[in-house]
Structure 1
């Protein structure tokens, strides 16, 4: 490696590190480690010495089979290479974890669960292992279908993004909301809930914070929108969004779409959001891609107002970009298509593989495709999470 970053890709229960050469836009594969079940999400400790990984035998890859394995693991990160080594005992969880993060002090691991929608807070011991669960004395409003849990930059509040179920084919239809809690010594208390209208046309998935300004950028999954909120000391977020933008190259498309992961660039000048299309149709007795946009939408951020302006929809070179990340220098973006997809090509059917898609990031924020590394990921063994870590 020519820098101090490593990229991790989770396919099923296997977690593989890759060394990164930013200048050449290349990855070098290292030895993988395994978890007891399919990896759902991972988050590094602020010290960059540990990686917290939540996994489950439930979720989309379970194929409808009942699941009972839900765990949180810790891996020590080799500061020279990024290689991983199990660290401490796994912690059993009650239900499927969908997201996890660590507070800025490095003292608490926060986990979100989608069904039933809930959360938990666990102490992190001085040696980086997972300690006791923090009992919550207050009844918490955790909404419907939690999808992400983040701590605000001042470490005083926790935001739980609850997606609800309001896309065209969801049944039942449920409201989405962004729940905000006060956060002190691992204990949460209800502070506010943000849900435009009745929440029935509001399906938030993920959010990210501007590194310098009090702006929060939220991907709205089922409406393919980017919303911008202002951080507020009293309510967590402003009651109404400052701006609402469509993420698609063709906002009038009738094909079903879903906005996905979102990341603000390290310098705060751009915000990137994944557009996903992964539904199928029948062709000659086989399921093939029904069409739609798989891309990374690039928005330039006005540094005075926070208003984002769409400047590019970069081809995703794969199906269903579930996760992606940007290196701390802001020069390289790596996206991770979830699975291989059969695609109609005239009268033939071809397969577009999953993989790791590398883009160079220009000074104007726009993406230029550099290369793709194909990965063996299927509907049964999905590339469910991928992310980048700067080494200690």
Structure 2
């Protein structure tokens, strides 16, 4: 079965090293998919040389929001929508889930079964541990949907859910717990500086049986008005859950609990920025624990603009990958590095299964000031080597042809079956 570790084998991109380098590396078992607008492109992964090789492209009906592989690694499930950033604006009117078969030798994708229409914009999707259900988080209105996965890997009917599920405000991630008895929905709320309206964030925990969800618990400090969780990840061997708190640029650590999903109070709270006292608006991003459980990585993002000479240019802030070492006795994370992003707005990143490389993908290009001049910082894929100490060393970056209308919104790495 897939776990968070196996799929955190994900990341960004497009590009190019000589094809011969991949052919000479028969140990390479992972492929990389990058979604720009509705187009999903396959790249071979050469972890030894920290390189990607473009191979083929398939398309979804509209802009890809997220994707997740089946535990067998034979299918990839893709959700898309014309709502939200890069779409028609607002909620949109086209929302779809598709299954693609993954060629076990090359990673090439082929449409598999019928597409499934969804009720609203899907912002995140995952597959339960049994491989029988596709879980989908919808952000506006905040909600969840569950679809059966047929024996052949294609998508089946939607599972009816109770009418009064507590799905919070602005759902942003949905994951089955490692024991598959619970499903956790991370709801971001709206409580960052300048948010209007202001709404509470929360982590919602549901019981999960036969595809049906039941309310179990809501984890949040106080009324949730100063709590904006975005994503979480599980330690591979210990009962520790690491949560990126987007609005407050924090990393919280909770203990898994059989009844409530997570401990009511965090075990640890850490700052993610190199300068926590900065007054610039920031946003913590996605989070992944390394496959060996020794480190946790998350991104810091700054993508707000200000007017300069009649143009909207980057107003400053930290774009980085924060690296934390994990105490293997207590689970406490210690910040050991903030690696420069070399791009703007790292929305997705992934770590290869052997913890050799980390690849991060930025969403769009950004106008930046250089003295009195204005230049464009392109959207990019950024490749780092991971040291034995967990720290990142920048290797290279690849520019990506993306825009505000056609964003590199999701990217991920999948180990072939």
TM-score by length of 1: 0.99
Unaligned runs of 5+ in 2: 1-21
Q: Of residues 331, 340, 359 in structure 2, which corresponds to 1:334?
A: 359
- The answer as to 2:269 corresponding to 1:269 is no
Q: Could you tell me how far apart the structure 2 residues matched to 1:329 and 1:138 are?
A: 43
**Secondary structure of the equivalent of 2:86?**
helix
- Deviation of the 1:234 alpha carbon: 1.0
**Secondary structure of the equivalent of 1:208?**
strand
- Deviation of the 1:355 alpha carbon: 1.5
Cα gap change, 1:66 to 1:164, in 2 (>3 Å)? closer
**Secondary structure of the equivalent of 1:62?**
coil
TM alignment of 1:220-239, pairs within 5 A = 220-239=245-264
> Is the Cα–Cα contact under 8 Å of residues 205 and 218 in structure 2 kept in the other structure?
yes
> Is the Cα–Cα contact under 8 Å of residues 42 and 54 in structure 1 kept in the other structure?
yes
- Deviation of the 1:64 alpha carbon: 2.6
Partner residue, 2:318: 293
Partner residue, 1:5: 30
CA RMSD of aligned residues (A): 0.8
> Is the Cα–Cα contact under 8 Å of residues 63 and 380 in structure 1 kept in the other structure?
no
- The answer as to 2:406 corresponding to 1:381 is yes
**Secondary structure of the equivalent of 1:174?**
coil
**Secondary structure of the equivalent of 2:363?**
strand
> Is the Cα–Cα contact under 8 Å of residues 271 and 300 in structure 1 kept in the other structure?
yes
Partner residue, 2:45: 20
Unaligned runs of 5+ in 1: none
Q: Could you tell me how far apart the structure 2 residues matched to 1:120 and 1:289 are?
A: 37
Spell out, residue by residue over 1:203-235, the C-alpha distance to the aligned partner (whole angstroms, 9 max, x if none): 000000000000000000000000000000011
Q: Could you tell me how far apart the structure 1 residues matched to 2:88 and 2:166 are?
A: 30
- Deviation of the 1:138 alpha carbon: 5.5
Partner residue, 1:346: 371
- The answer as to 2:70 corresponding to 1:45 is yes
- Deviation of the 1:137 alpha carbon: 3.3
Cα gap change, 1:63 to 1:283, in 2 (>3 Å)? farther
Partner residue, 2:14: none
Partner residue, 1:57: 82
> Is the Cα–Cα contact under 8 Å of residues 330 and 361 in structure 1 kept in the other structure?
yes
Using CA pairs under 8 Å that are at least 6 residues apart, name the structure with larger relative contact order, 1 or 2.
Answer: 2
TM-score by length of 2: 0.93
Q: Could you tell me how far apart the structure 1 residues matched to 2:100 and 2:70 are?
A: 10
Partner residue, 1:154: 179
**Secondary structure of the equivalent of 1:228?**
strand
- The answer as to 2:30 corresponding to 1:30 is no
Spell out, residue by residue over 1:280-339, the C-alpha distance to the aligned partner (whole angstroms, 9 max, x if none): 011111110000000000000000000000000000010000000100111110100010
- Deviation of the 1:81 alpha carbon: 1.2
Q: Could you tell me how far apart the structure 2 residues matched to 1:224 and 1:378 are?
A: 26
Cα gap change, 1:316 to 1:281, in 2 (>3 Å)? same
Q: Could you tell me how far apart the structure 1 residues matched to 2:78 and 2:330 are?
A: 36
> Is the Cα–Cα contact under 8 Å of residues 18 and 28 in structure 1 kept in the other structure?
yes
- The answer as to 2:158 corresponding to 1:133 is yes
TM alignment of 1:235-250, pairs within 5 A = 235-250=260-275
Q: Could you tell me how far apart the structure 2 residues matched to 1:19 and 1:125 are?
A: 29
Aligned residues, how many? 392
- The answer as to 2:226 corresponding to 1:201 is yes
Partner residue, 2:335: 310
